[in-house]
Amino acid sequence: MSDSLLDANLQHVPDPYLSGSWRVVDRTLSRADPTTALAQATYLHLQEGYLRLDTSTGQTAGHWSIERDALLSRPYLLLQLAHESVRALVTRLRHSADGHYRALVLYFQSGLELFLVQP
Amino acid sequence: MADSTTSIERLQTAVDAAGVGTWDLDVRTGELVWSTRCKEIFGLPATADITYDFFLECVHPDDRAHTHAAVQQALDPAGSGAYAIDYRTQWNVTGAAPRWAHATGRAFFDAGRTQPLRFIGTITDVTEQKSNREALRQREADFVTMADSIAQLAWIAEANGDISWYNRRWYDYTGTTLAQMQGWGWQQVHHPDYVRGVVERLQHAFATGEAWEDTFPLRGRDGLYRWFLSRAVPLRDAQGNALRWFGTNTDVTQMRELQERLSQAYEDLEVKVTFRNLTLEHEVQQLRAQLDLAGVGAGVPVGPPPSPPA
């Protein structure tokens, strides 16, 4: 009942809703390699089919798509970077009541978890 | 005359038995007559001679001025002639607290109402009543202090459900006044999606006398809603009828949020496990499908094999 964020229904969320420039505000490495670009990402720019990953030292480009699987109740992102292809589960997607603020949680199969926000 | 004397004596006996002292002041001569009970209330022997000045000396110093003023007011021909006042007596008894007396009287005037003639009245020892009233006031003050210091919002409703009192925390949280909240005015701070159900369930409790418990949102002074676990129990008379209800509202917003987060965390964990093992999960599914197609697992009896023929 407070002014907390509202959960989007991930079964029905339209794909374009995930586009945009996502700022990394927190991360959980678990046993993921901390030296990878993903583990060090500061921004994740998801434009139509095009992906750019910013770190404090550089940028990595690639492609992305949204995938769905009957075994999962949520979509996942397929990120194709220069030398690797990784999958990231959309664990949570929340938004403010007016829709201006959004928060995204991505969970990678490596155990890495990124917490991102817009704007 | 003998009959009249007897009647007066009987009346005096009845008044004495009631613990009431009587006094009679002849305003013109200044003669003041006190009954024995009157003197007892002032801690004086029955043989004591009483004058108005002596009476004032027997009144607690702090009460003398207003006592004298009340007497003068009663004796004023322009006034009503009525006299009613409380003062302390026996104030100089070592080791004992002063006693409280309640005095009433009426002045009688000449035919032209220009001069007071007599001033007659009664005195009653009200120390115990004062003490009881003070104890009651103190208990009420203690209750209010306690009710204001607890973490919950609290309220008292009459038997018909009209709320007549809220603790300080209710007003602090809702930013309302008693005038706004009295009776059933509390619905103003309820969420429109929930208020109807709350009213129905509460009315049922008031009608049946059953203890009430409910959880619903209440709007704070900041306009935001928080969730409250609410309970009310009736205070009953000897016949078991509800006299009034005592209710509390406990803020459970944080607990609900934690429960929700925990529930979400479990849900997330489950889907994360599936996601990490997605390839394996698909292989298992394929294997199951192949087994189903091959008929393995179908029509196979469960239990021990049948015994060989003898």
Q: How confident is the model at residue B162 (pLDDT cuts 50, 70, 90)?
A: very high
How much is the pLDDT for B16?
79
Q: Is residue A7 domain-resident?
A: no
Number of H helices, E strands in chain B: 10, 10
How much is the pLDDT for A4?
72
Parallel, antiparallel, or unpaired for β B225-236 and B242-251?
antiparallel
| C-alpha to C-alpha distance for B102 and B100, rounded to whole angstroms | 7
- CA-nearest of B41, B37, B21, B34 to B91 is B41
Domains of chain B: 15-131 (3.30.450.20), 150-256 (3.30.450.20)
| C-alpha to C-alpha distance for B189 and B171, rounded to whole angstroms | 11
Phi, psi of A118 (to 5 degrees): -135, 135
Whether residues B272 and A107 touch (CB distance < 8 A) is answered with yes
How much is the pLDDT for A1?
45
Question: Could you give the number of structural domains in chain A?
Answer: 1
How much is the pLDDT for A3?
52
Q: CATH number, domain at A26?
A: 2.40.128
User: CB B96: neighbour CB atoms within 10 A?
Assistant: 10
| C-alpha to C-alpha distance for B85 and B66, rounded to whole angstroms | 9
Contacting residues of A for B274, CB less than 8 Å apart: 71-72
Q: How confident is the model at residue B302 (pLDDT cuts 50, 70, 90)?
A: very low
What percent of chain B stands above pLDDT 70? 94
Whether residues B274 and A107 touch (CB distance < 8 A) is answered with no
Q: What is the DSSP letter of B190?
A: B
| C-alpha to C-alpha distance for A15 and A67, rounded to whole angstroms | 10
Burial status of residue A39 (CB atoms within 10 A of its CB: 0-12, 13-18, 19 or more): middle
Domain span at residue A93 reads 14-118
Q: Is residue A111 domain-resident?
A: yes
> Which residue's structure tokens are 């006044």?
B177
pTM for the full predicted model: 0.63
Rounded mean pLDDT, B246-266: 94
pLDDT in tens, B213-248: 999 999 999 999 999 999 999 999 999 999 999 999
Q: Is residue A84 domain-resident?
A: yes
CA nearest to A69 within chain B: B278
pLDDT in tens, B196-216: 999 999 999 999 999 999 999
Report the b/e string of B170-198 with b at 16+ CB within 10 A: bbebbebeeeebeeeebeebbeeebbeeb
The mean of the pLDDT values for chain B is 91
| C-alpha to C-alpha distance for B287 and B300, rounded to whole angstroms | 18
| C-alpha to C-alpha distance for A56 and A38, rounded to whole angstroms | 11
Question: From the first residue on, what is the mean pLDDT of each consecutive set of 10 residues in chain A (119 residues)?
Answer: 74 88 95 91 94 94 93 93 90 91 95 95
Q: Is residue A88 domain-resident?
A: yes
Rounded mean pLDDT, B151-165: 94
pLDDT in tens, B53-105: 999 999 999 999 999 999 999 999 999 999 999 999 998 888 899 999 999 99
Tell me the nearest-neighbour CA distance from B198 into chain A, angstroms. Answer: 17
Rounded mean pLDDT, B255-277: 92
CA nearest to A88 within chain B: B275
Whether residues B276 and A1 touch (CB distance < 8 A) is answered with no
| C-alpha to C-alpha distance for B225 and B216, rounded to whole angstroms | 9
What's the N-to-C CA distance of chain B in angstroms? 133
CA nearest to B220 within chain A: A2
CA B242 to chain centroid, in Å, comes to 15
| C-alpha to C-alpha distance for B206 and B242, rounded to whole angstroms | 8
Number of H helices, E strands in chain A: 0, 9
ipTM value > 0.85: yes
Whether residues B271 and A69 touch (CB distance < 8 A) is answered with no
pLDDT of residue B310 exceeding 50: no
Per the model's pLDDT, the better-predicted residue between B299 and B288 turns out to be B288
